Amino acid sequence: MKVIGINGSARKNGNTAILIQTVFNELEKQDIETELIQLFDKEIKSCKGCFACKGISECIISDDAFNECFHKMLEADGIILGSPVYSADITSKMKAFVERSGVIISTNPKLLKYKVCASVVALRRGGGMTAVDTLNHFLLNKEVLLVGSTYWNMVYGKEVGDVLNDKEGMENMKNLGQNMAWVLNKIY
């Protein structure tokens, strides 16, 4: 089994990566392979809305990193989408990624069906629920199995590493990893 985490942060190894890695630690305890894809240094262009992806499992825009990341998502058994909150929602790079993914999947239904998924969000103050909702709404209408935890999957912190001080949030991430591992082990 393999779970990929897609980190939409503009920072390499920032708070969002810490959250995803915390979930990964619990998955790895159950011998589930993990891979972190960080979008910080990848170009992800916006969707053109051309729908040329109908009948194929990739975007016709081929001069960026989208298709590489999208194919890894299709190959995985589980997916974690993570983003910090920028302007009260997910980052523009993550938004472009989920929009292009969503259009491809809308023209090729069932590509993510039954994958075990979760979303995580790092935030300083406000916008956390909006960001969680954006990621969860993308996942839910793709027929995935969305895993939850004991609270909303968001952790507070501004500077890199500050999320580690949100004890309740970090425990929630550990529990999320345990729940995700349990579901994956029941299915596979």
Q: For the domain covering 2-187, report its CATH number.
A: 3.40.50.360
pLDDT above 90: residue 41: yes
Q: Average pLDDT in the 150-165 region?
A: 96
1 pairs with which residues across the strands? none
Ordered by start, the domain boundaries in the chain are: 2-187
Q: Do 34 and 24 meet the contact criterion of CB atoms below 8 Å apart?
A: yes
Q: Average pLDDT in the 83-94 region?
A: 96
Mean pLDDT over the full length of the chain: 96
pLDDT at 109: 87
Ramachandran class of 136: left when φ > 0, alpha when ψ lies in -120 to 50, beta otherwise: alpha
Strands (E), 68-159: 78-84, 116-123, 145-146, 154-156
